């Protein structure tokens, strides 16, 4: 059963007072995720609190009551539900199905385990740009991006040295470390991680696939 969520108050909450007493809540400050709307559009989000029946998340992308959303967390967990209130970038969601005690315990451990090695949420972009390797500019396609790095498609993967300068349209040049090389692709990590607000804003106005910087 979905929780009876109230309209937003001075500080929005997930569930009603009567239900909150019976729900175990995980309070988070930096549980990042990829929020996907039913039309397929996505963006970066930050889950602020969560209970068995619902959650509250922040996002630059605008939502309205009735939007169905899916949030893919950086640990591989997927949460889905319906937006029941939205105000000033904060959104309350009632889950499609209540979370089990086991799922809440797992999420609680993830929240309090520190940064860990979980992969950050990645976003498909397909933007044509260039990478500079030892003074040589190589055409690449930035296939996906996260706060920590991305994957590049290139016809010359073996030309990539350990240090790469990647030009990202509307984000400028980013110094990167080469992480791996495969046939036709190179994985890079940003020497300086992108800020949450920086990536969230860029995703909202991301260049169309194929755009060249």
User: Using one digit for the tens of pLDDT, what is the confidence trace for 80-110?
Assistant: 999 999 999 999 999 999 988 888 887 777 7
pTM of the model: 0.80
Q: Is residue 197 classed exposed, middle or buried when 0-12, 13-18 and 19+ CB atoms within 10 A define those classes?
A: exposed
If asked whether residues 80 and 35 sit together in one domain, one would say yes
Domain that holds residue 102: 17-111
If asked whether residues 187 and 165 sit together in one domain, one would say yes
pLDDT tens readout for residues 159-210:
999 999 999 999 999 999 999 999 999 999 999 999 999 999 999 998 877 6
Neighbouring-strand partners of residue 139: 130
Q: Say if 152 falls within a structural domain.
A: yes
CA–CA separation, 138 and 90 (whole Å):
41
Q: Say if 168 falls within a structural domain.
A: yes
Buried b (16+ CB within 10 A) or exposed e, 38-52: eeeebbbbbbbbbbb
Count other Cβ atoms within 10 Å, centred on residue 158. Answer: 8
Q: How many domains does the chain have?
A: 2
Count other Cβ atoms within 10 Å, centred on residue 109. Answer: 12
């Amino acid at each position: 059963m979905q929780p009876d969520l109230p309209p937003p108050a001075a500080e929005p909450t997930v569930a009603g007072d009567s239900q909150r007493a019976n729900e175990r809540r995980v309070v988070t400050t930096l549980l990042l995720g990829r929020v996907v709307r039913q039309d397929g559009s996505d963006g970066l989000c930050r889950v602020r609190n969560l209970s068995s029946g619902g959650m509250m998340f922040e996002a630059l992308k605008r939502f309205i009551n009735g939007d169905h959303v899916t949030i893919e967390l950086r640990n591989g967990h997927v949460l889905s539900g319906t937006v029941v209130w939205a105000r000033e970038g904060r959104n309350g969601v009632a889950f499609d199905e209540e979370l089990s005690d086991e799922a809440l315990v797992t999420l609680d451990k993830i929240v309090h385990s520190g940064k860990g090695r979980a992969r950050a949420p990645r976003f498909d972009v397909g933007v044509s740009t260039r990478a500079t390797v030892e003074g040589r500019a190589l055409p690449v396609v930035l296939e996906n991006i996260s706060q920590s790095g991305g994957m590049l498609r290139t016809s010359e993967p073996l030309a990539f040295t350990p240090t790469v300068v990647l030009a990202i349209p509307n984000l400028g040049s980013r110094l990167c470390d080469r992480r791996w090389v495969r046939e036709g692709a190179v994985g890079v990590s940003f020497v300086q991680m992108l800020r949450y607000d920086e990536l969230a804003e860029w995703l909202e106005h991301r260049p169309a696939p194929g755009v060249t910087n």
